[in-house]
């Protein structure tokens, strides 16, 4: 969005040109990133593809909603910890021993919190779905129970 805004504000100053030589150079250096990103996308969506092949579209909806609910807490916690952890690790970057201890303690701490969150989700999945999604999604509670065990 910002690039588009700059382009419209400074129309006369910006010229876009593509040279085949530069594109080949970018592709040569970026092909590993492209392949990695493609494999990662396939991995992310492979479970949905398999569910669609083996079952039906309704199971994909239950699975997707269940997966979203199971991942809300850990994703929020991870984003908070990453923002704090990376800034602190940059401060202590010269002390490798201290960095290793901080990473180990953070991992240990997160594993305990995730275990607690996943146990709560497993035990109260039916109620969580009723409160957050409503009665039509109650069948997703079994998927949430499975995902809460598999995600840990």
On whether the CB atoms of residues 94 and 43 are closer than 8 A, the answer is no
- Dmax over CA atoms of the chain, in Å, equals 62
pLDDT tens string 129-149: 888 778 888 888 888 888 888
Instruction: Tell me 55's DSSP state.
Output: S
Evaluate if residue 1 carries a pLDDT over 50: no
Q: What angle do CA 127, 129, 133 make, to 5 degrees?
A: 135
pLDDT tens string 6-40: 555 555 555 556 677 777 776 776 777 777 777 87
The reported pLDDT for the residue numbered 95 is 86
- Evaluated on CA atoms 71, 151, 133, 126, the torsion sign reads negative
The pTM score is 0.53
């Amino acid at each position: 969005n910002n690039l588009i805004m700059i382009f419209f504000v400074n129309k006369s100053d910006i010229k876009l040109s593509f040279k085949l030589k530069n594109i080949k150079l970018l592709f040569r250096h970026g092909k590993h990133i492209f392949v990695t990103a493609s494999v990662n996308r396939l991995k992310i969506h492979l479970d949905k593809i398999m569910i669609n092949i083996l079952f039906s579209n309704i199971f994909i909806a239950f699975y997707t909603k269940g997966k979203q609910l199971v991942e809300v807490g850990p994703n929020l916690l991870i984003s908070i910890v990453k923002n704090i952890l990376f800034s602190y690790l940059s401060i202590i970057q010269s002390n490798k021993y201290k960095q290793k201890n901080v990473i180990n303690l953070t991992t240990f701490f997160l594993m305990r919190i995730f275990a607690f969150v996943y146990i709560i989700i497993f035990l109260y999945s039916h109620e969580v779905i009723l409160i957050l999604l409503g009665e039509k999604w109650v069948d997703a509670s079994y998927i949430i129970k499975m995902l809460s065990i598999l995600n840990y």
